[in-house]
Amino acid sequence: MKLQLALDLVNIPEGIALVKEVEQYIDIVEIGTPIVINEGLHAVKAMKEAFPNLQVLADLKIMDAGGYEIMKAAEAGADLITVLGATNDSTIKGAVAEAKKQNKQVLVDMINVPNLEQRAREIDALGVDYICVHTGYDLQAEGQSPFEDLQTIKAAVKNAKTAVAGGIKLETLPEVIKAQPDLVIVGGGITGQADKAAVAAEMQRLVKQG
């Protein structure tokens, strides 16, 4: 099981400073969609240059032009790139084909997919690397969480690795770990804490012990 730190509400220098605090406790650093919107793929390039030993995920949430957008993220140095599960199969197939060519990985974000179990099975057959359940900020604010959805995809997905994101905190991490995802994605649960290193260290400990 791996731990991914999601950076969303910071600029490039703030993001780099934050990762310096927790670098040894995380496996993957995510350049979140808000950063890509604000700074472009330069943020991915800057993070990879600053931390060549960490994997960098570009949270592009690709909805169209799958092959082209994967190619651009790969050029910027991303190791993993997100595509939306709500899009059509052609976009996902194009993304997977380009990612394989570039030796990169595709994480499909199932945010707002209504028929989760069926769509997860369909996407699992397309050769993606990860299928991720995700409760976004706006539904988190309404009290929703991704924990039940994680159990749904764990039962449905046979080939891809599974991942989970959306409001995970140190207190809720044990419940998440019980469902045995391959990747746990945490943003505010680390970045919003006073002692980020201590929280990330404890999260890493829990994740490694599985």
Ligand X SMILES: O=C([C@H](O)CO)[C@H](O)[C@H](O)COP(=O)(O)O
Q: Under the rule (CB under 6 A), what is the footprint of ligand X? A: 6, 8, 30, 32-34, 59, 136-137, 165-168, 185-189
Which residue number places its CB atom closest to ligand X?
A: 187
Reduced to 3 states, what is the DSSP secondary structure of residue 191? helix
Among residues 55 and 97, whose Cβ is nearest to ligand X? Answer: 55
CA angle at residue 3 from 19 to 114, to 5 degrees? 115
Give me the least distance between CB of 83 and ligand X, in Å please.
Answer: 13
Among residues 50 and 165, whose Cβ is nearest to ligand X? Answer: 165
Give me the least distance between CB of 61 and ligand X, in Å please.
Answer: 8
CB neighbours of residue 194 within 10 Å: 6
Give me the least distance between CB of 79 and ligand X, in Å please.
Answer: 16
Among residues 121 and 167, whose Cβ is nearest to ligand X? Answer: 167
Tokens 């960098």 found at: 56
CA angle at residue 78 from 28 to 87, to 5 degrees? 95
Closest-CA residue to 2 (of 186, 165, 183, 133) = 183
Reduced to 3 states, what is the DSSP secondary structure of residue 83? strand
Give me the least distance between CB of 111 and ligand X, in Å please.
Answer: 7
Q: Is residue 188 exposed (0-12), middle (13-18) or buried (19+ Cβ within 10 Å)?
A: middle
Return d(Cα 57, Cα 63) in angstroms, integer. 16
Both ends of the chain: CA-CA distance in Å?
7
Among residues 13 and 192, whose Cβ is nearest to ligand X? Answer: 192
Among residues 121 and 193, whose Cβ is nearest to ligand X? Answer: 193
Give me the least distance between CB of 157 and ligand X, in Å please.
Answer: 19
Among residues 100 and 152, whose Cβ is nearest to ligand X? Answer: 152
Give me the least distance between CB of 108 and ligand X, in Å please.
Answer: 13
